[in-house]
Structure 1
Amino acid sequence: MDVLFSPVILFFLLGALAAFARSDLSIPEPLSKALSLYLMCAIGLKGGILVAENGFTAEMFLAAGAGLLLSVLIPVMAFGILKSFGKLDRTNAAAVAAHYGSVSVVTFITGNQILTGLDMAPAGYMIAVLALMETPAIIVGLYLARRGTETGAQPKGDLLRETLLNGSVVLLTGSFIIGLIIGKEGFEPISPVFQTGFTGLLCLFLLDMGLLAARRLRHAQTLTLRLVSLGVAFPAFNGLLGCVIGAALGFDAGTTTALALLAASASYIAVPAAIRMALPKADAGLYLAMSLAITFPFNIIIGIPLFTSISLFMVQLWS
């Protein structure tokens, strides 16, 4: 219950309720983008600083391997289900599957902040795992979309640039490296900006995300009941898979929950940018509605407390 009544979740709910009530409440787009940049920079710095303090460990490489495995396995499984049960064509099934194989930075940041408040802070290296999981699912999704088809391929140079130099990937990775370099002492002068005000600014950002998710859901035109159910089933199953893998590898409950959230989340920033260029025939309204309007709220409201409880149980059971 402490998780459900966290300020960040309550602000998300406020935004969603305001949108469903057709309120004119809004966050200016420039401010929303600035908040997004701030949050990614802050979480990257904190992750790098924690790794600088604790060093590169075997556990870190295990987590990286688990993350990469999930980012390849999840889109393959989702693709088959989206084609058979979801009744989607190859292109749209692959596009949606790529979103579920990648990760949501905001879901991770929200979960990380809530877990920290519960004295269950995940290991700092999980931000590196997040960055690693951004790209493989895009590659898998494009392979699945083009396998056995005659569609022209996107120029490799353009696609590689769009994928690897996506703004969120660059900022997260760069901030993580800066955190590694400066360490805790170097962070002290800027900590009032990136630490003291972090939770308050996250609340504002989640308010905006609640507004955006609810409005996207209201205007979704191509969602069927089958796809809505998959928008809930995918994160539930993938998150459980993350819990099992994290506990089996011996991670603590906070780190296990973070891995579960990465597995359960669906990208709605990095992947849409790449898919829009590489698969222009895919239905953007469909993959954005599923990832942003269904899966994101599920993870924020239900997934974080659910995976936290499952992780605590599994870690205690297997310890």
Structure 2
Amino acid sequence: MSEIIIQNLLSPVVLFFVLGIMAALVKSDLKIPSGLSEGLSIYLLIAIGLKGGIELSQYSIEDVIQPIIGALILGSIIPFITLFITRLMKMDLKNSIGLAATFGSVSIVTYGAAISFIEKNGVPYEGFMNALVVIMESPAILVSLLLLKVLENKKNESAMTIRNVGFVSGSARLFDKEVLRESLFGKSVLLLLGSLIIGLILGDRAVPMVKPLFMDLYSSVLILFLLSMGITTGQRLPEVKKHGLKLLLFGMFTPILFGALGVLTGHLAGLSLGGITLMGVLAGSASYIAAPAALKTSVPEANPSIYLGLALGITFPFNLIIGIPVYYEMAKWIQ
């Protein structure tokens, strides 16, 4: 295990990420232009979606139905577990929901780093795993918002007379139209899903055109993006620390718990060693793109420095350095 962690620490993607953190901590004037960072993010979303669609076109529905069901189940139950833990920590409801949505959704960049890790170790994996990234993006956000409405209604029901008409009206307002739009058609989901469908329709015919840019250069572009993410992470670290030790421990230990659930789910779904590892990575990661965007609209009372700072400042680097090798070892053990 220690050898794998050291090997991961010495990989270019991790070292450039650490360089970005150091630059932020020493208050260097190193900056990645926002336009370039946005462009790199778009590139990674398209690359993962295209690769997933092309690979998915090689499989029948019977091959992918169990992993898809497993991904949907994970995306639905992790918010419940997160909410239970945070309420035990005496966190208020709105910030608990923020963490539930964030940790139930996935980090695309962590997933990309995991692909680089297992490919470097020569471990094959199912190509349709890229499609599961898309599938796990939205369920946790929707489930978390549903939990918020249910708990808020439960809190107020003692002061209200529940009638059938009132119930229907309340149910109709469970999700704001803007929230649904952001959850299902936000930038990250739209690019991933759109690229996946394009790759699925074209199949191998798309390879000659997309391979030079979106496959051959993927690892190099990931290095640039992680340098940018390292700078942002270093800037967010102080925001997390001021919220106390419990929150810091939550950001490091819950990924292992959720990652173990992902590894178990991948094993039960019949995935290979690489596929099980990636399922663990997806379950153990936390979103800092899709979920925060939806939360900003739907739960403005939740503190971004908690859910975004924790996801980006603690869980992301933890997974990048330690989590991915741990999920890989879990996958080897369970097989």
Determine if the TM-score, normalized by the shorter chain, exceeds 0.5.
Answer: yes
CA distance in 2 between partners of 1:212 and 1:45 (Å): 27
Q: Within 2, Cα distance between the matches of 1:230 and 1:221?
A: 12
Aligned-partner SS, 2:147:
helix
For residues 76 and 235 of structure 1, what CA distance do their matches in structure 2 show?
A: 14
Q: SS of 1:142's equivalent?
A: helix
CA drift at 1:245: 2.0
- The 1-side partners of 2:210 and 2:317 are apart by 32
Tell me, yes or no, if the aligned pair for 2:75 and 2:104 is still in contact at 8 Å: yes
Distance in 1 of aligned mates of 2:303 and 2:279: 29
Q: 1:46 to 1:271 in 2, by over 3 A?
A: same
1:196-207 paired onto structure 2 within 5 Å: 196-207=216-227
Alignment equivalent of 2:148, drawn from 145, 148, 165: 145
**What stretches of structure 1 of length at least 5 have no aligned partner?**
none
Q: Say whether the 8 Å CA contact 2:52–2:128 is kept in structure 1.
A: yes
CA distance in 1 between partners of 2:331 and 2:116 (Å)? 17
Provide closer, same or farther for how the CA distance between residues 154 and 279 of structure 1 changes in structure 2, counting only shifts above 3 A: farther
1:63-98 CA distance string (max 9 Å, x none): 11111111111110110110112x211111111111
Distance 2:241 2:318 in 1: 20
Contact 2:146 2:175 in 1 (8 A): no
Which position in structure 2 is the counterpart of 1:26? 31
Identity between Structure 1 and Structure 2 (%): 39
Q: Deviations over 1:297-319 (max 9, x none)?
A: 1111111111112212222xxxx
Tell me if structure 1 keeps the 8 A contact 2:239–2:305.
Answer: no
Give the number of equivalent residue pairs.
313
Q: Are 2:21 and 1:16 equivalent residues in the alignment? A: yes
Q: TM-score, normalised by structure 2?
A: 0.89
Alpha-carbon distance between aligned partners in 1 of 2:257 and 2:115, rounded to the nearest angstrom: 20
The 5-angstrom pairing of residues 19-98 of structure 1 reads: 19-52=24-57, 54-85=58-89, 87-98=90-101
Match 1:259 to one of 279, 283, 291 = 279
SS of the equivalent of 1:232 reads helix
Counterpart selection for 1:193 from 213, 217, 231: 213
Residue 136 in structure 1 maps to residue 148 in structure 2: no
Unaligned runs of 5+ in 2: 157-169
Q: Which segment is superposed worse, 284-293 or 152-161? A: 152-161
Question: How far apart, CA to CA, are the structure 1 residues paired with 2:289 and 2:208?
Answer: 31
| Match of residue 200 from structure 2 | 180
Contact 2:276/2:331 (<8 A) preserved: yes
Q: How does 1:270-285 map to 2 (within 5 A)?
A: 270-285=290-305
Q: Does 2:262 align with 1:242?
A: yes
Q: Which runs of 4+ in 1 moved over 4 A?
A: 150-155
Residue 290 (structure 1) aligns with: 310
Which structure is larger by alpha-carbon Rg, 1 or 2? 2
Aligned-CA RMSD value: 1.7
Give the 3 Å change call, closer, same or farther, for CA 281–251 of structure 1 in structure 2.
Answer: same
Structure 1 residue corresponding to 2:331, chosen from 307, 311, 316: 311
Following superposition, the deviation at residue 155 of structure 1 comes to 6.2
- Look up the equivalent residue of 1:263 and give its one-letter code: A
